[in-house]
Amino acid sequence: MPLGSDEVKRIAHLARLALPPDTVDAYARDLSSILTFVEQLEAVDTQGIQPMAHPQESKQRLRPDVVTESDQSARFQSLAPRAEMGLYLVPKVIE
C-alpha cells in the first residue's frame, strides 16, 4: 500500500521520531516499497493456522518473589543526560 507524506508524518509521530521535512518524501517512497513487498503475504492461505509468536513456545518460568539485585541507582543515573537528587530531569510536564 503506498503511503503519502501525511501518513508518514503520522507514523513518525506515533513512533516519536522527528523527521527533517526534506526527508519525508524519501521515507514515503521507501516505506511504500517495503509494504508493497510484504503484502505478498495477503495471498497466503492461513485458515486455521495458529500464529507463532516465538520459536520455543515454552511457558514463562516463575521465580521466588525475592530481592536479587542490590541498589545501583546512582551508577545507572550517572548515565543519564540530566539527573539530580535521584530524579531524571525532563522539561516541565504540568504547567
Partner 1 sequence: MNLHEKTLAELSAALRSGEITSRSLTTHYLDRIRALDKRLNAVITLVEEQAMAEAEAADARIAAGRAGPLTGIPLLHKDLFCTDGVRTSCGSRMLDNFIAPYDAAVVENLREAGMIMLGKTNMDEFAMGSSNETSYYGPVRNPWDTQRVPGGSSGGSAVAVAARLVPTTTGTDTGGSIRQPAALCGITGIKPTYGRVSRWGMVAFASSLDQGGVFARTAEDCALVLGAMAGFDERDSTSVDREVPDYAAHLGASLKELRIGLPEEYFKEGLDAGVAAAVDAAVDVFRSLGAEVKSIRLPNAHLAVPTYYVIAPAECSSNLSRFDGVRYGHRCENPRDLTDLYERSRGEGFGAEVKRRIMIGTYALSAGYYDAYYLKAQKVRRLISEDFREAFSQVDLILGPTSPTTAFRLGEKADDPVSMYLSDIYTIAVNLAGLPGMSIPAGFVEGLPVGLQIVGNYFDEARMLNAAHQYQQATDWHLRVPPGFE
Smallest gap from residue 87 Cβ to partner 1 (A): 11
Element holding 23 (H helix, E strand): none
- Please state, in angstroms and rounded to a whole number, the distance separating the CA atoms of residues 22 and 84: 37
> Which residues would be at the binding site for partner 1 (CB under 8 A)?
3, 8, 11-20, 23, 27, 30-31, 33-35, 37-42, 44, 46, 49-56, 58, 60-61, 63, 72, 75-76, 79-82, 88, 90-93
The smaller minimum CB distance to partner 1, of residues 6 and 88, is found at: 88
Smallest gap from residue 85 Cβ to partner 1 (A): 16
The smaller minimum CB distance to partner 1, of residues 61 and 84, is found at: 61
The smaller minimum CB distance to partner 1, of residues 65 and 92, is found at: 92
- Please state, in angstroms and rounded to a whole number, the distance separating the CA atoms of residues 1 and 23: 19
Burial annotation 40-71 (CB, 10 A radius, 16+ → b, else e) = eeeeeeeeeeeeeeeeeeeeeeeeeeeeeeee
